[in-house]
Amino acid sequence: MNTSNASLARWIDEVAQLTKPDSIHWCTGSDSENEQLIAQMLERGDLIKLNPSTHPNCYLHRSHPSDVARVEHLTYVCTSSREDAGPNNNWMAPDEAHRKIDSMFEGAMRGRTMYVVPYCMGPIDSPYSRCGVQVTDSPYVVINMRVMTRMGTEALRRIERENQFVKGLHSIGDLNPERRLILHFPEELSIKSFGSGYGGNALLGKKCHALRIASWQARQEGWLAEHMLIMGVQSPEGRTHYIAAAFPSACGKTNLAMLVPPDSMPGWKIWTVGDDICWLHVGPDGELRAINPEAGYFGVVPGTNPSTNRNAFEMLRSDTIFTNVALTADNQPWWEGLDEGTPVVDWQGRPYRAESGPAAHPNSRFTVAARRNPIYSSLADAPEGVPISAILFGGRRREVAPLVYEAFNWQHGVLIGAGMASETTAAATGQVGVVRRDPMAMKPFCGYNFGDYWRHWLSFEQRAKKLPRIFHVNWFRQDASRRYLWPGFGDNLRVLRWICDRCDGRVGAQETPIGYVPHKQDLELTGLNLDGATLDALLNVDADAWRKEIEAIGAYLDEFKPRLPNELQDQLRAIAAKL
Ligand code: SAT
Ligand code: MN
């Protein structure tokens, strides 16, 4: 065995007996190991080398066409009590769950190599970081985990020191959707995932560990594991506010975290700490501090171009693993939203025909090291994390939600998060574009009962000396003809500026029944072609629509009784009364 940790050695032994691999490889995370894995995948056709002069060190992987997104209907939280998983999760009894999935794992790695992947979520020397070991038979997963986490020998040493780690067992099986399950055992700090090689289902450090298992651990230990980007917003005077923002999958977290300021706002700078996951702890000074548990980005490709996100566009020109994009005749990656190049091969490897749908899969992804980001924050690896001034909640809402509003206080802010809704996207299988409740953007990721989760959020009023202000934003308002009212992308900095001004106590606001909305004159709109009527529509709080919204939120929250905290109902009643 390649470890001095007895419980890890024993577990690897058990897993090998169950899955019967031909060989076992303990990953060190070294460059040469990575190169060997890539060479072997190229040879088997699991990877395609992209044009080395335009895209040095870039590769394309095509996943099975039935395996292109998270599968929420096959994802379970397996706690001893069903109530602990809550109405927000699929639930299976742990015994039954183990039995079911172990029968799939039986002999599943015959003829394959079993990779043992030790990883650390968060800076390797941070007290807030947590480790895990993923066992997998997919070299694609290994090379992705190497980018997305601190993977290899250093992580193994930390595991041996701490003697605590999350166990993640993964096999791609035969990729048969009928034999696919993603199971979480928070009480055992373990994950078992079978039958998918796709990101959120297979890179177990990400959603499975850093959100579902970590949220459970966080509740027990007094912190929060959230589906949030983390960014620094630096004003021309040099003051930086760190902001954490929760949006559902494929709603622009990566784009906001890597924002390029508009020309009309010279001197403003953005620094990315993280683009997807945020662990929040009360620091020694009583403030909320955030670390990004990840070391890379697994971002949505379509739509990325020099005008939507120049930083991301530049970042993807080298050292990137693309999944499910299309190819040009000279082997460059191609996706919808690029204004140059022509696709000749689609994401499934077929000759591209416009009538057979998009060339790149709508949920095609890039995997790239965070350090490749030109605006990577110098504090992104700081073990103590960054202090958070503001928390943003938001989603895709054609209607109802104004561009931005601020919560009256923490409890109201928790209600705003709990009542979040968004239109579904291609990041999960199922219908796209239907509005569903997605509290704190955690509907697919909270590893326990939302009622308990909101109570935990509320408890931070007692835990912290100083809490961030909470805001709701919506970049996706449309008019009756489905035209977006707000330009989004870089211009979102205009809203962030108002948020920073509020944090500094520099501007007032207009009080509405649902929260504080900006005075029009406090929004920096120079250089934007926004007429008065559009601005009015963006900031409008329509009482009729909101009465319906409040009713719908109330009905949704009722599903979590008896665990629903009274404070949320009180907050909701107060708003209803004002409306
Ligand atoms: O596939 S992931 O879950 O990692 C991406 C997402 O849906 O947020
Ligand atoms: Mn995400």
Domains and CATH numbers, the chain: 6-46+70-221 (3.40.449.10), 226-295+378-578 (3.90.228.20), 297-372 (2.170.8.10)
Using CA positions, which residue lies closest to atom 5 of ligand 1? 200
pLDDT in tens, 210-261: 999 999 999 999 999 999 999 999 999 999 999 999 999 999 999 999 999 9
Which atom of ligand 1 is nearest to 203's Cα? 4
Q: Of 27, 58, 78, 251, which is the active-site residue?
A: 251
Strands 181-185 and 75-77: parallel
Query: In degrees, to the nearest 5, what angle opens at C-alpha 184 toward C-alphas 179 and 189?
Result: 140
Ligand 1, closest atom to CA 199?
1
Q: Whose CA is nearest to atom 6 of ligand 1?
A: 249
Nearest ligand for residue 254 CA? 2
Q: How far is the CA of 422 from the centre of ligand 2 (A)?
A: 14
CB distance 117 to 29 below 8 Å: no
Nearest ligand, CA 229: 2
- Distance CA(273)–CA(128), nearest Å, equals 15
CA of 427 to the centre of ligand 1 (A): 6
CA of 556 to the centre of ligand 2 (A): 23
Question: Which percentage of the chain shows pLDDT scores above 90?
Answer: 98
The residue among 43, 69, 381, 378 whose CA lies nearest residue 197 is: 69
Positive/negative CA dihedral, 220, 224, 226, 229:
negative
pLDDT at 395: 92
C-alpha span between 439 and 567 (Å, rounded): 16
pLDDT score at 1: 59
Burial class (CB in 10 A: 0-12, 13-18, 19+), 482: exposed
Of 149, 298, 367, the residue with max ligand 1 atoms within 8 A of its CB, to mutate for a pocket test, comes to 298
User: Atom 1, ligand 1: which residue's CA is nearest?
Assistant: 200
Quick check: bond before 87 cis, omega within 30? no
- Between the CA of 248 and the centroid of ligand 1 the distance, in Å, is 9
Q: Yes or no: say if 442 and 211 are a contact pair by the CB < 8 Å rule.
A: yes
Residue list, ligand 1 pocket, CB within 6 Å: 70, 199-200, 206-207, 249, 298, 427
How are beta strands 515-517 and 510-512 bridged, if at all?
antiparallel
Cα(426) to centroid(ligand 1), Å:
10
CA distances to 30, 151, 320 from 379, rounded to whole Å, are: 25, 20, 23
Q: Is 22 exposed, middle or buried (0-12, 13-18, 19+ CB in 10 A)?
A: exposed
Q: What is the pLDDT of residue 307?
A: 93
Give the 3-state secondary structure of 23-92.
Answer: EEEECCCCHHHHHHHHHHHHHHCCCEECCCCCCCCCEEECCCCCCCCECHHHEEECCCCHHHHCCCCEEC
**Which atom of ligand 1 has the smallest separation from the CA of 207?**
3
pLDDT tens sequence across 542-562: 999 999 999 999 999 999 999
Which residues share a beta bridge with 446?
none
What's the pLDDT score for residue 264? 95
Q: Which residues of the chain have pLDDT under 70?
A: 1
Active site residue 251: yes
Question: Which ligand 1 atom lies nearest to the CA of residue 206?
Answer: 4
Give residues whose Cβ lies within 5 Å of ion ligand 2.
Answer: 249, 276
Look at ligand 1, atom 2, and give the residue with the nearest C-alpha: 200
Q: Which ligand is nearest to the CA of 148?
A: 1
Say how many Å lie between the CA of residue 355 and the centre of ligand 2: 30
Atom of ligand 1 nearest to the CA of 198: 1
Helix or strand or coil: residue 415?
helix
Q: 108 C-alpha vs ligand 1 centroid, how far in Å?
A: 25
Q: Which of 211, 227, 228, 276 to mutate to test the pocket of ligand 1 (most atoms within 8 A of CB)?
A: 276
Q: What is the token pair recorded at 178? A: 């009928």
Question: Closest ligand 1 atom, CA of 298?
Answer: 4
CA distances from 549 to 225, 395, 514, 541, 575 (A): 27, 14, 11, 11, 11
Best residue among 207, 278, 363, 422 to mutate for probing ligand 1, ranked by most atoms within 8 Å of CB: 207
> What separation in Å is there between the alpha carbon of 70 and the centre of ligand 1?
7
User: Quick one: three-class SS letters along 487-502?
Assistant: CCHHHHHHHHHHHHHH
Name which residue sits closest to atom 4 of ligand 1, judged by CA. 200
Instruction: Indicate the pTM of the whole model.
Output: 0.98
Phi, psi of 322 (to 5 degrees): -95, 140
| Structural contact between residues 502 and 510, judged by C-beta atoms closer than 8 angstroms | no
Partnered with residue 333 across adjacent β-strands are 327
| Ligand lying closest to the C-alpha of residue 425 | 1
State which amino acid sits at residue 492: N
Residue nearest to atom 3 of ligand 1 (CA): 200
185 touches 63 (CB < 8 A)? no
Q: What was the pLDDT predicted at 198?
A: 95
Structure tokens at 58: 């870039």
* Alpha carbon nearest to ligand 1 atom 8, residue: 249
Distance from C-alpha of 107 to C-alpha of 561, rounded to nearest angstrom:
43
